Structure formats: structure tokens, C-alpha cells
């Protein structure tokens, strides 16, 4: 198996892997990414994310897509693992472990204080995999997200949103 950072020539295959992952996660309807956007954000200046590809003699086995984040508490950068996906024909052959380990190595090499990611609640194979790797779920944290029209609305608003707070 060989692991390599994706190049601009890999944009189409990265997009295909993203679509395969979305299908597995039952989220295909949410994929709006296209080759031009991936080319711009993965290989433009600045680079917002990186992709690591796993190749086996039989073909491309999977990928990991990640980007930097920052921990104010640690005062150090980190890596957020957005996607880790292994094609079904290549599962249970150490591909996921190799991709995950390489992202962890990159985090250490880059002086990062942590590696983080999210897992869908129903994805027990992923939960089991990450537990085997020594990860622990951060159950005391809840992910929040603004996207689409909500993000546009907040970005364009000159008035802060007022939320009702039922706490005493």
C-alpha cells in the first residue's frame, strides 16, 4: 500500500470518493462540491485542506481529507479530520488504519496538540474503529453549524440575533 498527498491531477477522484462516502452516510443529497471548488480550495492559495490517498495494486482504496484548526486552550494548532473513507472492496485490509495513522503522524510532525473529527451516531463500525485506535468520544460537546441561507443571513445582518435564554 502507498499513501500520498493528493495532487491537482487527483481532483476528479477525490470528488468521486466524497460522493461514495456521502452515499454510504446516506447524505448524497447534501453533496454540492464540484471539481472547480475542490481545485480552488485544495490546491489554490491559500490551501484550505489536504487529501491523503491510499493506493493498492488493485486500485485506489480510500482517502482522508483534513485541515488545520487551532486550540486556544493548548495554544497550538490541530488537525480536523473531515473525512476518512475506505472503499468497500478494500475494507478490513488496514487501509483505514494506515490513513488514520498517517494523519496522526502529520499532526505530530506539524506540532499539533490534537486530532479531532466527528462520527455519525449510527455509524457503529466507525465508532468501533476509532475506539480501537485509542480515541474517546467528546460527549460533553455538541456540534453546532451554520450553513446555506442561515450562514448568509447571519453574515449579512447588521443586527445581532437575540436568542431567548431560559436559564436563570
Residues marked as catalytic: 130
Contact call for residues 74 and 114 (beta carbons, < 8 A): yes
Question: Is residue 135 helix, strand or coil?
Answer: coil
CB atoms within 10 A of CB 134: 7
Q: Count Cα atoms within 13 angstroms, Cβ side, for 144.
A: 4
Taking the chain, what is the end-to-end CA distance rounded to the nearest angstrom?
57
Look up cell 479530520; give the residue.
Answer: 81
Look up cell 442561515; give the residue.
Answer: 150
**Cα-only R_g, the chain:** 18
The rounded distance, in Å, linking the Cα atoms of 112 and 79 is 7
CB atoms within 10 A of CB 96: 23
Amino acid at each position: 500500500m502507498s499513501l500520498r498527498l493528493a495532487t491537482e491531477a487527483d481532483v476528479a477522484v477525490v470528488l468521486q470518493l466524497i460522493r461514495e462516502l456521502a452515499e454510504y452516510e446516506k447524505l448524497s443529497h447534501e453533496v454540492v462540491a464540484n471539481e472547480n471548488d475542490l481545485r480552488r480550495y485544495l490546491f489554490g492559495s491559500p490551501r484550505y485542506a489536504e487529501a491523503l490517498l491510499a493506493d493498492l495494486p488493485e486500485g485506489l482504496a480510500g482517502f482522508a481529507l483534513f485541515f488545520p484548526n487551532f486550540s486556544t486552550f493548548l495554544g497550538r494548532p490541530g488537525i480536523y479530520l473531515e473525512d476518512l473513507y475506505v472503499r468497500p472492496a478494500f475494507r478490513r485490509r488496514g487501509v483505514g488504519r494506515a490513513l488514520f495513522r498517517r494523519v496522526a503522524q502529520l499532526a505530530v510532525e506539524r506540532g499539533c496538540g490534537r486530532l479531532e473529527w466527528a462520527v455519525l451516531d449510527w455509524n457503529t463500525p466507525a465508532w468501533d474503529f476509532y475506539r480501537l485506535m485509542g480515541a474517546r468520544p467528546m460527549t460533553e460537546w455538541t456540534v453546532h453549524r451554520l450553513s446555506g441561507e442561515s450562514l448568509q443571513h447571519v453574515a449579512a445582518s447588521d443586527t445581532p440575533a437575540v436568542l431567548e435564554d431560559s436559564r436563570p
